[in-house]
């Protein structure tokens, strides 16, 4: 295998979890508590205006954070507890790849400070990734990976190998995953990846993702904490992860596996640019909608065909008026309009 036969399609940051230290005002905490009480009573999300944006207060806590606000761009957690950061933020992957990670950090900081005053942001977790074509990994290859972590787990999809997990997330340090991103993307409906992969993407080939998850303790060892500090050393972190923490090697007669020669595909992994990039928010969310819709269509068409048969429709010209009439009657009987149901689903899918 030649080094140039393994093609890097994309790389960068796929997840960035943030915490924020600040003094939440009593007024803001009172507003959060009042709306959370309404959400609890209704057992559903309730609108909450934060920084000029309409978010959804959830009727449940988010981990240690009593107040959970959802927005199409991110999830926010707030707590009055003084022993942990007052704020927790998890930007959505579509927002990161649509807007660019640095822009997402600035958006988050500006939004929080508009309501909370000065906020000291820190990174609690970052996921670095690189996507490749021209290299496939199977379950038998796990012995060829040399790692500082001992744990290895295989993933299967319909009894077909789909990935390898190395290390434990529960350790709170480093874990890695290698898996078929094309299968995962089709299943989750994240079609925006094809936009990010660009012209070099070959639809006839699978895409292998190499992904590392790093938590706060590891970031401390690198001497970084703030988003600017962490994003400034992603290249150095990738070097450590692919040269020292994990390697893929070609078996030889040497009993010491760490002395086996590096595989050609892993040399391509080591050279990943970790450059990030963005495709625009509208393109990212539009591609997500297209992906979810593609997964929905087979069952939707089947249900519409059943409906057409039961209403004596013979074509879409007959079906659409019949469907409109039955939707109207059902809305009257249930007491909830179709626009209201659509709005609820937009919230569920975190669509802007």
HEC profile of 85-108: CCEEEEECHHHHHHHCHHHHHHHH
Residue 327, pLDDT score: 85
Alpha carbon of 22 to those of 79, 117, 121: distances in Å? 11, 8, 9
**CA-to-CA distance for 346 and 320, rounded, in angstroms?**
23
Residue 277, pLDDT score: 56
Give the position of tokens 């906020």.
Answer: 119
Residue 130, pLDDT score: 95
For each successive 10 residues of the chain (352 residues), what is the average pLDDT? 80 96 97 98 95 96 97 96 96 91 96 96 97 90 89 76 86 91 73 81 93 95 94 93 95 91 95 66 49 69 85 85 85 84 72 62
Structure tokens, 212: 């590392």
Break the chain into its structural domains and give their ranges: 1-18+124-279, 23-95, 296-348
| Closest alpha carbon to 53 in 25, 33, 68, 73 | 73
φ, ψ at 330 (rounded to 5°):
-65, -40
pTM value?
Answer: 0.79
Residue 270, pLDDT score: 95
| Closest alpha carbon to 19 in 154, 152, 140, 119 | 119
């Amino acid at each position: 295998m030649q080094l140039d036969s393994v093609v890097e399609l994309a790389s960068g940051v796929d997840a960035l979890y943030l915490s924020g230290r600040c003094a939440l005002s009593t007024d803001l905490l009172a507003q959060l508590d009042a709306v959370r009480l309404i959400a609890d009573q209704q057992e559903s999300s309730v609108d909450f205006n934060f920084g000029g944006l309409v978010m959804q207060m959830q009727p449940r806590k988010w981990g240690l954070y009593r107040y959970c606000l959802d927005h199409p761009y991110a999830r926010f957690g707030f707590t009055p507890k003084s022993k942990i950061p007052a704020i927790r933020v998890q930007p959505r992957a579509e927002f990161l790849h649509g807007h660019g990670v640095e822009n997402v950090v600035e958006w988050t900081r500006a939004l929080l400070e508009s309501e909370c005053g000065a906020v000291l942001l820190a990174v609690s977790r970052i996921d670095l990734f690189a996507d490749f074509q021209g290299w496939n990994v199977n379950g038998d290859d796990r012995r060829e990976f040399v790692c500082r972590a001992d744990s290895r787990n295989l993933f299967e999809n319909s009894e077909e190998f789909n990935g390898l997990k190395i290390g434990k997330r529960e350790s709170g340090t480093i874990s890695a995953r290698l898996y078929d991103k094309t299968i995962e993307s089709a299943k989750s409906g994240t079609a925006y990846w094809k936009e990010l992969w660009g012209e070099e993407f070959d639809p006839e080939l699978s895409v292998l993702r190499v992904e590392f998850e790093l938590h706060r303790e590891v970031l401390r060892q690198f001497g970084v904490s703030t988003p600017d500090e962490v994003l400034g050393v992603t290249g150095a972190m990738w070097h450590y992860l692919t040269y020292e923490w994990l390697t893929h090697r070609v078996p030889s007669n040497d009993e010491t596996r760490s002395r086996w020669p590096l595989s050609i595909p892993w040399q391509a992994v080591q050279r990943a640019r970790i450059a990030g990039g963005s495709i625009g928010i509208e393109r990212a969310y539009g591609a997500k909608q297209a992906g979810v819709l593609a997964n929905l269509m087979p069952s939707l068409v089947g249900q519409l065909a059943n409906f057409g048969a039961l209403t004596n429709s013979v074509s879409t010209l007959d079906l659409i008026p019949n469907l409109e009439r039955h939707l109207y009657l059902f809305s009257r009987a249930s007491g909830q309009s179709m626009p209201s149901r659509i709005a609820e689903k937009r919230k569920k899918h975190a669509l802007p």
